[in-house]
Structure 1
Amino acid sequence: MFFVLALFSLGICCAVLCVVVKRSVQHEHSDDPNFLSFQRVYLAGPHVYALYESYWMTKHQIELLFIAGFGSSLLFGTFIGSIADKFGRKTNCLLYALLYGVSCVTKHFADFNVLLFGRLMGGIATSILFSAFESWLVFEHRRRALSDQSLKQIFANATFANSLIAILAGIVAQTAANAFGFVAPFDCALVVLTLMALVMTFTWCENYGDERAHLPQSFLDAVDTIRKDRRILFLGLVQSLFEGSMYVFVLEWTPALSRASETGTIPHGYIFASFMISVMMGSAIFNLLSQYSRPESFMRFVFFAAALLMGAPVLFPSSPAVIFVAFALFEVCVGIFWPAMGFLRSQYIPEKTRSTTMNFFRVPLNLLVIVILWNNFQLDTIFKFCVSFLLLATLMQHSIARLTSSPADGSELPFDVLEEMEKLCAERGEVGEKTDAERVDSAEESAERRVG
């Protein structure tokens, strides 16, 4: 009963918060229909663990399958990012649809090796999902010379919509699983992937990083970018530490709440829906916060709050209500994190190596998750690790805030760099031999000269 009341209470709070945000935040709109269209893509696939269990996989085999997915993302992520920058972000997004589609097909086979291959394909696809789509979005946003505020709103709206669709997808997946078995949700995902690929093929234009760079050179350029700019280095560490804690949380919230429950059973559906509503609330709060403060600044407090909340299972191991409330508030922090981090990446990562650099950020993230999965740590130890990761993220974010606290540090320019880029794009006919990335870099270099 408690979880049902919590779900409805969170729903009411979320609705009220959305009304407040709608009245308080001045939304900017684009008249470009192609720009509006790329706010509408989402895909989710549930029931993985249950499917593996239905194939009589042992707990160790299931753990190996999950490790294979994270390991695949770790090994191939940066390479895939370089492909996106050189051969096109749209092409890489289509590759995501193909690879994840193959992963869905393998779920029909109760064979460990086939499922392992599917997890490897899914891991590579995940690297694309978390880099190429955002890189394409940021470039198109800049090419259309739209404002930074509208980009913040897009990231916030995407987080809100993803959470809402995750709830709906969960309902569809459960209905399909009840009617046709655990593999049915993956068939539904395959249909959505096909539709997504068709939409991208006929409505998206292509954009690139540095088309002329060889793949090893893109890799080295990304390393050099991270080495030379401490803001990017700290940003990558912050992302890895927070997302590492978040993925561990996704794996461990069920045993944490089950241990605290007197019966040992919990209503997973209600709890998952509550968490998604909390993420929606976080995206709305981001819209409010960004009106009055920079993400570089207020994210310090978000990370510190997340660290305190993640300590609840350690401090109150036998109180399901306290743990649930702490986890729900942590998900609010997650809802603030996604749009904030997307916006910060758009500000500091160079266009020509954007996808490659973003996938570099996922290397330590995947390492953290693999180490925790591989070692059979006690539940309290796992959450202590998460608290430590989040406190480190707080310190890193504080460093970013200090580095970008004044225009002299390059955080804010006294004129609009996008205006320079728009002028350069208008000269496309005269300088057709230049790549899109070169025009972006030229605009940024011109901006730096004017600041100097």
Structure 2
Amino acid sequence: ELYENHLDWVLKVPSRPEYYFRNQLVLDLTNPAVQDFVYSTIDGMFTKHPMVAYVKWDCNSVIYNAYSSTNPHQSHLYIDYVRSLYNILNRLRNKYPTIPMMLCSGGGGRVDYGALQYFTEFWPNWGKQSLKFRTDVAMMGKLGYDIVVSELDSNELLFSQQALQIYDRLKDTIWHGDLFRLVSPYRSGNDVASLIFVNEQRDHAVWFTYLINNRYRAGTSRPIRLKGIDPTKIYKFQEINIYPGTDNLTVVYLNNLSGDYLMTFGFDPMVNIQRPSVIIEFQLTNGVQILKSGNHLHGSYRYALYESYGLSRSNIESIYIVAYTSSLVIGTFAASLADLYGRRLGCLLSNIFFIVMVILMNFSSLWILIISGIFSGTADALHLTAFDAWLLQEYRECSLDDTSLKRILRDANIGVSLISIGASVFAQVLVKWSNYTAPFNMSVVFFTVSLICIWKFWSENYGNKDAKATHSFILAIQILRADPRIVVLGLCIASFEASLFLFIMNWTPVLERTRSSTNQNPLPLGFIFAGYMVVTMIGSFVFYSLAKWIRVQSYMIVVLLLAAVGMTIPIIFPNVIIDIGFDWFYSV
């Protein structure tokens, strides 16, 4: 109807037939009447639908047979056309300054820079790049999908869903953080473009690196030195936006690298033809290892401290039993309470209860030590439930797969083992210089640092906040009835943990019986415990290697048999200790 009533509103040469591109003709915007028509049409839509929240302005046709029946200067037609378009946009923006408007660009990422003053964003048009590459690039700005979702295959759909969840976590740093350009795409010889966004507190950063050259062996060939992060802080970083099916051996995940190291020596994100885009998220190292270091700092000397107070073995065992009982009682409800009130809160309370426990252990009164055992059991219950629950929730929000979770747990266990070894040696030194209470009092420092790290750098996450307190128990009973294997697994874990509790309670008095086999008095319990943690760390390495090739159920039988053999050694050789150089260590 518009065409029939206004033939003169079309751009075309009168002596030539009309040319339809995408079944369309182009309106002559240089005609003032056409400008008024376009403006009034869009203005009427906004007036009729005041809740319109987003506008996409697209150019769907190029100009053929360029001629205007109303423009006296045909040589200026293209210039006048653009200026007329700007006039319409200016009128709309003056009346509707807050409506988000997207300018859809032409192919190859071209955009009319003059038009940007009227739009809140523009989207480039893509060629044949992969969906991951396009998504990774779009994440630098305002991520969105202008795509036919029904045409995505299962992997593309899963990747896109995960990418949107990840972006929701990153967008505050990307939108409001500082941008640092690391590798210029315009400098000769550079195959990549690299940049990083860092938030104001410098405890979170997002690092983007893209391949821009497709020549043979193109990619990063050396580390890229970072900018903007805090040289005094320790970071962990994890590659994100992993496409389903990616070999996890190529995925970047590292813990405990200093900002100074990353800014001085850098890191190679390993961008190449097979990995044309890589996004790495930086966060400060969490408080789990710090809490573990405080816990293991005094762990080797707890029994010895009780003994130094003149307590009998039965009294000491009663303190342990109270601690284990409180852990049992509180642990039964700890997970549900953490789901309801927050896992981060549970982790904070764990540190606080550990600090109270340590303070009370400076008193030799049996009843005060029993109370400290209650705080110890409560702290352990929260430690063993809230921390893992918080980690698993963060893992889900990062959209990582099972292999990545195994790596995280392995690396965390290795980190804890290394810290525990150092803490045990440090405890030995403290006891030599002071007394048995010194490792306990020093652990307060570590618990306090862990408390601060969790409070400042962790986000809160929850379980089902609407569930009733009894919901988890009912659900657990239903699961146990539905799958007897879980009951068997629980019994196996309970039996193993029971043996560990007996080991923890008895390893010091058992070693004391062998004192005659060595000239150390007192025994270097810190060094002995450090040796135990070395073997634990070796086990973490072995576990990850075996888990890649063998089902865990298959070799756990062997592991439990070895543990049983280890437990029988003190029975077979009750009065023998193997001296592995403690004399030299102790003299140092």
The TM tier, using the shorter chain, reads: 0.5 to 0.7
The answer to whether the Cα contact below 8 Å between 1:160 and 1:283 also exists between their aligned partners in 2 is yes
**1:113-142: CA deviations, max 9, x gaps?**
222111101101111111111111111111
- Structure 1: unaligned runs, 5 residues or longer: 1-24, 325-452
Q: Tell me the TM-score normalised to structure 1 length.
A: 0.60
Among 226, 229, 235, which residue is 2:489 paired with?
Answer: 235
Q: Does 1:28 pair with 2:282?
A: no
Among 291, 307, 315, which residue is 2:564 paired with?
Answer: 307
Q: Does 1:167 pair with 2:416?
A: no
Could you tell me which amino acid in structure 2 is paired with residue 118 of structure 1? S
- Tell me the CA shift for residue 80 of structure 1: 1.8
Gap change, CA 1:256 and 1:39, over 3 Å in 2: closer
The percent identity for this pair of structures is 33
- Tell me the CA shift for residue 79 of structure 1: 1.5
The answer to whether the Cα contact below 8 Å between 1:93 and 1:129 also exists between their aligned partners in 2 is yes
Gap change, CA 1:190 and 1:227, over 3 Å in 2: farther
The answer to whether the Cα contact below 8 Å between 1:39 and 1:154 also exists between their aligned partners in 2 is no
Q: Does 1:282 pair with 2:539?
A: yes
Structure with more strand by fraction = 2
Q: Does 1:109 pair with 2:332?
A: no
Gap change, CA 1:198 and 1:307, over 3 Å in 2: same
Alignment of 1:381-400 (within 5 A): none
Residue in 2 aligned with 1:127? 381
Gap change, CA 1:279 and 1:183, over 3 Å in 2: same
- Tell me the CA shift for residue 214 of structure 1: 2.1
The answer to whether the Cα contact below 8 Å between 2:289 and 2:416 also exists between their aligned partners in 1 is no
Could you tell me which amino acid in structure 2 is paired with residue 61 of structure 1? N
Among 407, 410, 421, which residue is 1:153 paired with?
Answer: 407
SS in 2 for 1:32: strand
**1:361-384: CA deviations, max 9, x gaps?**
xxxxxxxxxxxxxxxxxxxxxxxx
Residue in 1 aligned with 2:323? 69
SS in 2 for 1:33: strand
Equivalents in 2 of 1:243, 1:205: separation in Å? 31
The answer to whether the Cα contact below 8 Å between 2:343 and 2:462 also exists between their aligned partners in 1 is yes
The answer to whether the Cα contact below 8 Å between 1:69 and 1:123 also exists between their aligned partners in 2 is yes
Among 291, 300, 324, which residue is 2:548 paired with?
Answer: 291
Equivalents in 2 of 1:318, 1:60: separation in Å? 22
Could you tell me which amino acid in structure 2 is paired with residue 298 of structure 1? Y
**1:257-292: CA deviations, max 9, x gaps?**
555676377654443222221111111101210121
Alignment of 1:22-421 (within 5 A): 26=249, 28-30=251-253, 31-34=280-283, 37=286, 40-41=289-290, 42=292, 43-44=294-295, 45-46=298-299, 47-256=301-510, 259=513, 263=517, 267-317=524-574, 320-321=577-578
Alignment of 1:427-442 (within 5 A): none
**1:45-99: CA deviations, max 9, x gaps?**
3322232233332332222111111111122211222101211111111111111
Could you tell me which amino acid in structure 2 is paired with residue 219 of structure 1? F
Equivalents in 1 of 2:550, 2:345: separation in Å? 37
**1:13-67: CA deviations, max 9, x gaps?**
xxxxxxxxxxxx9363342324864664423233222322333323322221111
The answer to whether the Cα contact below 8 Å between 1:73 and 1:123 also exists between their aligned partners in 2 is yes
Equivalents in 2 of 1:258, 1:115: separation in Å? 22
**1:140-171: CA deviations, max 9, x gaps?**
11111112112111212222222221121123
Equivalents in 2 of 1:316, 1:59: separation in Å? 22
Equivalents in 2 of 1:306, 1:251: separation in Å? 17
Equivalents in 1 of 2:485, 2:472: separation in Å? 20
Could you tell me which amino acid in structure 1 is paired with residue 318 of structure 2? L
- Tell me the CA shift for residue 256 of structure 1: 4.5
Equivalents in 2 of 1:35, 1:223: separation in Å? 39
Larger radius of gyration: 2
Equivalents in 2 of 1:304, 1:195: separation in Å? 39
Equivalents in 1 of 2:512, 2:369: separation in Å? 28
Q: Tell me the TM-score normalised to structure 2 length.
A: 0.47
SS in 1 for 2:428: helix
Equivalents in 1 of 2:463, 2:436: separation in Å? 40
> RMSD of the alignment, in Å?
2.7
Gap change, CA 1:271 and 1:170, over 3 Å in 2: closer
Q: What is the number of residues matched between the two proteins?
A: 299
Larger relative contact order, structure 1 or 2 (CA cutoff 8 Å, min sep 6): 1
SS in 2 for 1:292: coil
Could you tell me which amino acid in structure 1 is paired with residue 282 of structure 2? P
The answer to whether the Cα contact below 8 Å between 1:38 and 1:137 also exists between their aligned partners in 2 is no
- Structure 2: unaligned runs, 5 residues or longer: 1-247, 254-279, 581-588
